[in-house]
Amino acid sequence: MFMTPPDFAHWFTPGAVVPTEDRRDVVFGVREVGELDLPSGRLVACDPIVHLCHDDERPEPFAVTVPPGRYRVQTAEATFTYPVDHTVNAAARLVIRDTPVVRWEPALVPGEAEPGDDSFGFGVDAGAGCFLDTDAHHSFPGTDDDSGVVWEGLDADTPGPTAFVAEGENGHTIAVFASGWGDGLYPTWVGRDADGEAACFVVDLRPFRFARTA
């Protein structure tokens, strides 16, 4: 039996509260980050600094595909008040359909076995994750060399946890978000609605990695 996903619907409710044993109440907010183009309908989630540009680092898209189109990206932001006030990205969501999710399943690449625990997801070594279309892999030159539009977004002095949509070559876009508590393994989930259609993809950015929920 694979791990149970968090209550993402609660996390993406502005003002929602989750009590913890050691960090007091955590309050959630929702940010509308922008819109992502998926011309092929094949979504990739990865560390953009590590995996973009080079074919030998090219990640596979998820097995679940969606109709080609333009989709909203949101982040759920978790604000902790203990030991000091700080806010992190709790999750990043790509909204495919505005319908309630009734079932969650791991987002896996073709041929990947269903996980038996929490050991699935994409690895982060540079403190950020992203959503992009698989055909956009080469559209952000310079990312691996600390330059280009991805780094411009990462270096921008904006309030709150980092989250932005940038446009690269040939009209391709990328949604980048700071990865919660830094480097690690971050699982992605597919939410399906009552019709069995993919309603969203959500990356769990592990806001409670160092806190125990009450």
Residue 89 counted as domain residue: yes
Domain span at 18: 8-204
- Nearest Cα neighbor of 29 from 175, 159, 200 is 159
Residue 37 counted as domain residue: yes
83-118 tens-digit pLDDT: 778 899 999 999 999 999 999 999 999 988 777 665
Domain total in the chain: 1
- The whole-angstrom separation of Cα 27 and Cα 18 is 7
147-180 tens-digit pLDDT: 999 999 999 988 889 999 999 999 999 999 998 7
Residue 3 gets which letter from DSSP?
Answer: P
Residue 197 counted as domain residue: yes
Residue 67 counted as domain residue: yes
Residue 211 counted as domain residue: no
Residue 173 counted as domain residue: yes
Burial of 166 (0-12, 13-18, 19+ CB in 10 A): buried
Kindly tell me if the per-residue pLDDT of 1 is higher than 80.
no
19-37 tens-digit pLDDT: 887 768 899 999 999 999 9
Cβ within 8 Å of residue 204, ≥6 positions away: 5, 6, 8, 91, 121, 186, 187, 188, 189
